[in-house]
Amino acid sequence: MKIEGKNSVRELLKTDKTIDKLLVQNGMRDEESKSIVYSAKQKGVKIHFADKAILDKESDSRRHQGFIAYVSEYRYADFEDMLKSAEGKADAFFVALDGVEDPHNLGSIIRVCECAGVDGLIIGKHRSAAVTDIVMRISEGGANHVKIARVVNVNAAIERLKAENVWTYALEADGENIYKADIGGRICLVIGGEDTGVNALTKKKCDGVLSIPMRGKINSLNASVATGVAVFECLRRR
């Protein structure tokens, strides 16, 4: 997996992940670049300097900003370990994605969850985008810090959350106004796919349905935007 861009590489260096090598463009002498190189040297990362043409060829995003890190494939968190780490936490906060397939949406949602300090993000193995180079870049390195569990069955994960006294709420257009709902305590927001929303069976398994009030002529928000609005409303209320 390639991690590209200054922000993403800088955040990667803050973790304990093994970096196979770091490719740095020749002539990167600004303070931010020097700081990244210094951090990489302190961690013992193998650094290779090369001309811009080499990085352009290696880059998948064409937005490498002079830095490409090579790491092993993304390691997902264990779902049970995620639950255990939030055990006894009165305000445990999770987000589950039901069919979000756009990697740009996933990357943005990961960034939102990391910024809000959620205890874990749950995604499905099927009908769902996975954490890839693109997702890592869109998340601005957020995927290095937030716990992400990839489960076989999102509905089973919801049942498991409920067994741990976590209230689950689907975010859909036909629910209770999120600004008036009681959303305290241990909760999980369930976000549906870009075109289909939350699956009907999944919605039935949730304890409730929440909605973001709309005043315009378009009756829906992009999945990542809706997640941002809902997550930070929950954070504000907590």
List, for residues 84-111, the tens digit of each pLDDT value: 999 989 999 999 999 999 999 999 999 9
pLDDT for position 75: 87
The 10s digit of each residue's pLDDT in 69-78 is: 998 888 899 9
Q: For the beta carbon of residue 237, count every other beta carbon within 10 angstroms.
A: 12
pLDDT for position 151: 96
pLDDT for position 89: 94
Q: Parallel, antiparallel, or unpaired for β 93-98 and 47-50?
A: unpaired
CA distances for 227 relative to 34, 51, 70, 189, 199, angstroms: 35, 40, 30, 9, 16
Coil, strand or helix: which one is 189?
Answer: strand
Give the 3-state secondary structure percentages of the chain, helix then strand then coil, rounded to 5. 35, 25, 40
Q: Parallel, antiparallel, or unpaired for β 19-25 and 67-71?
A: antiparallel
**Alpha-carbon distance 22 to 12, whole Å?**
11
CA distances for 215 relative to 212, 218, 220, 222, angstroms: 10, 8, 10, 15
Q: Is residue 170 within 8 Å of 209, Cβ to Cβ?
A: yes
**Alpha-carbon distance 124 to 154, whole Å?**
6
Domains of the chain: 2-71 (3.30.1330.30), 79-237 (3.40.1280.10)
Q: Parallel, antiparallel, or unpaired for β 187-192 and 167-177?
A: parallel
Q: At 100, list the tokens.
A: 């979000």
**Alpha-carbon distance 72 to 133, whole Å?**
11
Q: Which residues of the chain have pLDDT under 70?
A: none
Kindly report the length of the chain. 238
DSSP 60-126: SSS--TTEEEEEPSPPPBPHHHHHHHTTT-TT-EEEEEES---HHHHHHHHHHHHHHT-SEEEEESS
- How would you classify residue 155: left for phi > 0, otherwise alpha for psi between -120 and 50, otherwise beta? alpha
pLDDT for position 126: 85
In degrees and rounded to multiples of 5, residue 148 shows phi and psi of -125, 120
In degrees and rounded to multiples of 5, residue 116 shows phi and psi of -85, -10
Q: Is residue 171 within 8 Å of 210, Cβ to Cβ?
A: yes
Kindly give, in sequence order, each residue whose CB lies less than 8 Å from that of residue 154, ignoring residues fewer than 6 positions away: 96, 97, 98, 122, 123, 124, 190, 202
pLDDT for position 72: 81
pLDDT for position 50: 95
